[in-house]
Amino acid sequence: LDVTMGDYALLASGFPRRPGSEDVEAEIKRFFIQAFPDLRIIGVSVCWDYTDSQSKRWVQDRCERILQELDCEFDDIYGQGVRSRIEASATATAVGGRLSDDKVGRNCDP
């Protein structure tokens, strides 16, 4: 039996638009916990409308920050030399893709 999140999901709609700078997921989760105290609410995932340029930029910035954090974790585990060799190989074989020039040698200081 293959059990997935879809087996235990609830789709709720009609919420007012909110900026991504607010912790909307936590607020909605608190609402459902209060509304259904007998149920175990695991989490909430919000579908964001990021069609406007400000939202697109926020999503892009957030993704870049997360990728940098993952790069730093990778470097801590395997060493920066490994990632540099992987990226050099990817750059040499990439066709039509966009690879950021700032990935190699990132500053991972807190």
Residue 18: what pLDDT?
83
Nearest to 108 by CA among 61, 74, 59, 63: 74
Cβ atoms 49, 57 nearer than 8 A:
no
Name the helix (H) or strand (E) containing 62: helix 53-78
Low-confidence residues of the chain: pLDDT under 70: 1, 3, 5-6, 50, 83-107, 109-110
Cβ atoms 41, 33 nearer than 8 A:
yes
Residue 109: what pLDDT?
64
For the full predicted model, state whether its pTM sits above 0.75: no
